[in-house]
Structure 1
Amino acid sequence: MARVLLLFCVVFVTIYQSEQAHFLSREYINKINSVAKTWTAGINFHPNTHIDEIKGLLGSYSIGSKKIELVKSNDPVYSYTNEIPAEFDARERWQECKSIGTVRDQGKCGSCWALSTTSAFSDRLCIATDGEFNEILSAENLAFCCWTCGFGCNGGFPLQAWRYFKWRGVVTGGSYNTTEGCQPYRVAPCITDERGQNTCDGEEIEKNHKCEKKCYGNTEIDIKKDRRYTRDAYYLTPRAIQHDLMAYGPIEASFDVYSDFISYKYGVYHKTENATLLGGHSVKLIGWGEEEGTPYWLLMNSWNEQWGDNGLFKILRGNNECKIEEHATAGVPYLN
């Protein structure tokens, strides 16, 4: 009986350890840095973080085969962007648009798909209006009111978000605990203090919120009049990504996240050999460039500024690294 109990304890401890995100350990990070040639890993999450907590941050789903009519490869406006520069940063190109450089925090919710698309749409609307619109569109409104987009904090489909913008529109809404816009984000951020303790440690994933039919941020806003729309929704071919970004502004990009990416700090990320697949993630693509001979895409994550390179990361460009060039989506703002 004692041996059986001992065996049970050993098995239980082994399972518990395997459920922890082992790839967050210092040993694993050191292994990454011993083989990664163009980027450096470091501590972004507490080593004891459960693997389900990490996977819970990943919520981008593909719809399956792309409908040919939704794939964009050309646009008359691209004729003005024939010359592709070696480097491009949307924050510098459109400095009047504060939303482009705003790093979001999705909190303990797999709403990356909602934050990336509303953030890119906010940027594009600012650009299209020459800075007249300079607000943030509501990830809260999209995540919990679009029934065809997905499952709120349990993930969603970025292209469906753009289609929702076209048919139903989306209202304004700033960050957590603010009254900015019609419907501010209501999921608390995950902040790490000086001792390495995170405000989301031990907390369950956020339950989906009720879809609100009125403005609760700035209550003087008329929710019907506050809705913003796109005129279309589309996937981008790899060759069209740069043209579309230069013409209209940042885009949404989904990619496969592997265990080593979680600990990215700086440099041009590429998957290391023994990294394991965790899930799909949605981010905002804002530019490109080259670092010490290595071409990269410049992207903005939604895990706040404490993660990675002040909330941003670079990933290898030109070879569809982690499928980053395969599922880019966007839409052009509709202006009355």
Structure 2
Amino acid sequence: MVKFITIVCAIFVCVYLAKPTLQFLSDERIKYINEVAKTWKAERFFPANTSKEYIMGLLGSRGYTNYSSEVEIKTYDPLYEENASVEQFDSRENWKSCKQIGRIRDQGNCGSCWAFGTTGAFADRLCVSTGGKFNELLSPEDVAFCCQNCGKGCEGGYPIKAWQYFRTQGVPTGGDYDSKEGCAPYKIPPCFDQKGKNTCAGKPLERNHQCPKTCYGSTTVQKRYKVKNEYVLNSPNTMEQDLIKYGPIEASFNLFDDLSAYKSGIYQKTPKAKFLSGHSIKIIGWGKENGVPYWLAVNSWSKFWGEQGTFRIIKGRNECGIERSATAGIPL
């Protein structure tokens, strides 16, 4: 009897293991997504053998859950235009002199998305507040590896604490890897070469760097830019109002594995998609396509991902928590 049960169990295990499954980035999985997704298209971007652990290494935002009561939740600003109804808004078009708003960056093999989302939004707001006189990139290198209270660099961090760092310590300028642009350019090489080939696949996560104490780019004087406050925006209305008044905002959300194969359209999580971790991006606008409202966001996975480095996600229903904990601050 025992022998019979053992044989039956062995057969069951073999049948179970032989059952076809939808692998993470297989042709079958991408085909399935394109069959069930009604408003967006999927296409392989990361190699088919990419592990979920690798993707999770790029997802460093710890700001995708509700913030504590100690953080200001902004609900009103006397400068908001409450009666203004704008169906479509694109910061790149509204502030054409601020060229860095549409700049697509590459965080490399590092979970520093939180540093890119916050410095990107802050740099844009500086440009807006100065009428285009400030038109540079701020340094995610400095934020990721100098802000001890923000998190653990490539292992993730808290966007709201980055804004607090901007208020108390400030942040210098800093362009892309090997660019010499600004004071503290990013030191982690990009994951995608000029032809869009992934050069980081299979490699371990980048180690955290030592905090740069002095400028090593083309700028020799380390001027540190500050904000006068920091706050959370947790409703579509305040997100819109703050963005249209002061400029782009950072937003963190729950990233599911299907988004890694995003190519175009308005993203909505598909059935069977699995949660990976929190991710930080920069929201630069919103709009509507075929009756579907969306947020327009800039990612930091190179210009080859998505819609030339940007993506759209459905707006107004807190998809993946994206309307739960956006962050921002007003330049000093």
Fold agreement, TM-score > 0.5? yes
Q: Which stretch shows the higher mean deviation, 185-194 or 47-56?
A: 185-194
- Alignment-derived partner of residue 216 in structure 2: 216
Gaps of 5+ in 2: 1-9
Distance 1:50 1:289 in 2: 34
Distance 1:159 1:83 in 2: 28
Give yes or no for the alignment of 1:31 onto 2:29.
no
Amino acid at match of 2:187: R
Distance 1:69 1:149 in 2: 14
Distance 1:283 1:206, change over 3 A: same
Task: State the Cα distance separating 1:179 from its structure 2 match.
Answer: 0.9
- Alignment-derived partner of residue 244 in structure 1: 242
Q: Residues 71 and 232 of structure 2 are in contact (CA less than 8 Å); yes or no, is this contact kept in structure 1?
A: no
Distance 1:93 1:193, change over 3 A: closer
- Alignment-derived partner of residue 72 in structure 2: 70
Give yes or no for the alignment of 1:190 onto 2:191.
yes
Amino acid at match of 1:117: T
Amino acid at match of 1:174: G
Spell out, residue by residue over 1:244-283, the C-alpha distance to the aligned partner (whole angstroms, 9 max, x if none).
Answer: 0000000000000111111011111000111110010000
Amino acid at match of 1:255: F
TM (norm. structure 1) is: 0.90
Distance 2:220 2:67 in 1: 40
Distance 2:304 2:206 in 1: 20
The 5 A counterparts of 1:118-197 are 118-191=119-192, 197=197
Spell out, residue by residue over 1:2-60, the C-alpha distance to the aligned partner (whole angstroms, 9 max, x if none).
Answer: xxxxx9xx99xx8xxx9xx9321111000001100011100110001122111101011
- Alignment-derived partner of residue 302 in structure 2: 304
- Alignment-derived partner of residue 235 in structure 1: 232
Distance 1:198 1:214 in 2: 32
Distance 1:192 1:275, change over 3 A: farther
Q: Residues 84 and 242 of structure 1 are in contact (CA less than 8 Å); yes or no, is this contact kept in structure 2?
A: no
Amino acid at match of 2:72: L
- Alignment-derived partner of residue 103 in structure 2: 102
- Alignment-derived partner of residue 3 in structure 2: none
Distance 2:78 2:269 in 1: 36
Q: Residues 260 and 275 of structure 1 are in contact (CA less than 8 Å); yes or no, is this contact kept in structure 2?
A: yes
Task: State the Cα distance separating 1:193 from its structure 2 match.
Answer: 6.8
Gaps of 5+ in 1: 1-6
TM (norm. structure 2) is: 0.91
3-state DSSP of counterpart to 1:281: strand
Task: State the Cα distance separating 1:307 from its structure 2 match.
Answer: 0.5
3-state DSSP of counterpart to 1:208: coil
- Alignment-derived partner of residue 116 in structure 1: 117
Amino acid at match of 1:329: T
Q: Residues 108 and 200 of structure 1 are in contact (CA less than 8 Å); yes or no, is this contact kept in structure 2?
A: yes
- Alignment-derived partner of residue 4 in structure 1: none
Distance 2:221 2:296 in 1: 36
Distance 1:272 1:278 in 2: 14
Task: State the Cα distance separating 1:72 from its structure 2 match.
Answer: 0.4
Distance 1:234 1:221 in 2: 32
Task: State the Cα distance separating 1:204 from its structure 2 match.
Answer: 1.3
Amino acid at match of 1:71: I
Distance 1:128 1:108 in 2: 33
RMSD between aligned residues: 2.0
Distance 1:308 1:322 in 2: 18
Distance 2:70 2:85 in 1: 26
The 5 A counterparts of 1:55-94 are 55-62=56-63, 64-67=66-69, 70-79=72-81, 82-94=83-95
3-state DSSP of counterpart to 2:181: coil
Q: Residues 46 and 197 of structure 1 are in contact (CA less than 8 Å); yes or no, is this contact kept in structure 2?
A: no
Q: Residues 260 and 271 of structure 1 are in contact (CA less than 8 Å); yes or no, is this contact kept in structure 2?
A: yes
Spell out, residue by residue over 1:113-170, the C-alpha distance to the aligned partner (whole angstroms, 9 max, x if none).
Answer: 0001001000000000001110000000000000000010000000000010000000
Task: State the Cα distance separating 1:66 from its structure 2 match.
Answer: 2.8
3-state DSSP of counterpart to 2:293: strand
Distance 2:251 2:212 in 1: 28
The 5 A counterparts of 1:276-295 are 276-295=274-293
3-state DSSP of counterpart to 1:53: helix
Distance 1:202 1:157 in 2: 27
